[in-house]
Amino acid sequence: MDYRIAHITRYRYGEPVTICHNRVLLAPLTLPWQQCRQFELAVNPRPALVQSFGDYFGNTVHYFEIHEPHQELVVRANSLVTCTPPQHPDPAASCAWDNPCPPPPDLAAGLRLNRLFVLDSPMVYRSRTLADLARQDFTPGRPLVEAALAFTRRIHGTFRFQPGSTSVATPVEQVLEQQRGVCQDFAHLALGALRSLGLCARYVSGYLETDPPPGQPRLEGADASHAWFSLQVPGLGWVDFDPTNGLMPGPRHITVAVGRDYGDVAPVKGVVLGGREHVLTVSVDVARTEH
């Protein structure tokens, strides 16, 4: 199935901005089950410089500079993505989480490179409390994918999805205490718990289909950027889980970027000179389209 994605970010400033330098991560990744067939980025005012490159995690980054005074910045990203249903592994057939199968040589090399996804990151810290939370599902000898899916469903059943209850900077400890938040919070919570057990897990940003097919439930997190997590499973590679909706992502999930936490994959991030206060608005539309 094909999706057209329109992501519009608008900043309105209280005073003119004289210079701005920004980097955006808005181009969907190409994966075995997902192909980004078209991507267009439009910025107003027109940038003096635009560059694109791949970052350490394999994401596509666009960097731009604006050197003229402006009180409004609009970043429009339009994408055309083709998705096929990913092949979900049998949860019970994976290796035990506490005694995993030895990885093949090529995956072992990748695991060495992925050491960053086991350690603390700027927005996610390991703790005994988070490890204890995960151990409710990660019992001795339990298959890794089965345990991760059960933990994903536990977060979905325990924590309330409530937009506005947290901010981008809300720490995991607060989310754990208040038991509510948004997709970013639940992804960070899962990452902290999994890494506290010594597992390799990364943050995934992307989108959800805005309007589900007839007869299918609407998923939480649509109409905005979505977030979930991916777990490195020996012998299988990266396997995705969506704790906001308590499931393993399917073709309605569109992956944009991966990183240690939200800070690595923020859609728009940069610095400006001037502007004082600002008002940010974001709109996202993900619509299925015909071939």
DSSP-derived secondary structure for 132-172: HHHHTTS-TT-BHHHHHHHHHHHHHHHSEE-TTSS-TT--H
Confidence of residue 287 (pLDDT cuts 50, 70, 90): confident
- Look up the CATH number of domain 2-83+266-289: 2.60.40.2250
Q: What is the predicted pLDDT for the residue at 97?
A: 94
Give, for 46, the enclosing helix (H) or strand (E): none
Q: What is the predicted pLDDT for the residue at 273?
A: 93
Cα(65)–Cα(52) distance, rounded to whole angstroms? 12
Q: What is the predicted pLDDT for the residue at 276?
A: 86
**Domain 91-264 is of which CATH architecture?**
Roll (3.10)
Percent of the chain exceeding pLDDT 70 equals 92
CATH 3.10.620.30 domain range(s) in the chain? 91-264
Q: What is the predicted pLDDT for the residue at 217?
A: 73
| Per-residue burial over 57-82, b = 16 or more CB atoms within 10 Å of its CB, e = otherwise | bebbbbebebeeebeebebbbebbbb
Q: Tell me the average pLDDT of the chain.
A: 91
Confidence of residue 103 (pLDDT cuts 50, 70, 90): low
What is the sign, positive or negative, of the torsion defined by CA atoms of 144, 146, 147, 148? positive
Q: What is the pLDDT of residues 204-250, one digit of tens each?
A: 999 998 677 677 776 655 567 899 999 999 888 899 999 999 999 99
Q: What is the predicted pLDDT for the residue at 156?
A: 97
Q: What is the predicted pLDDT for the residue at 216?
A: 75
Angle of the 144-158 helix axis to the 183-196 helix axis, nearest 10: 140
Q: What is the predicted pLDDT for the residue at 219?
A: 66
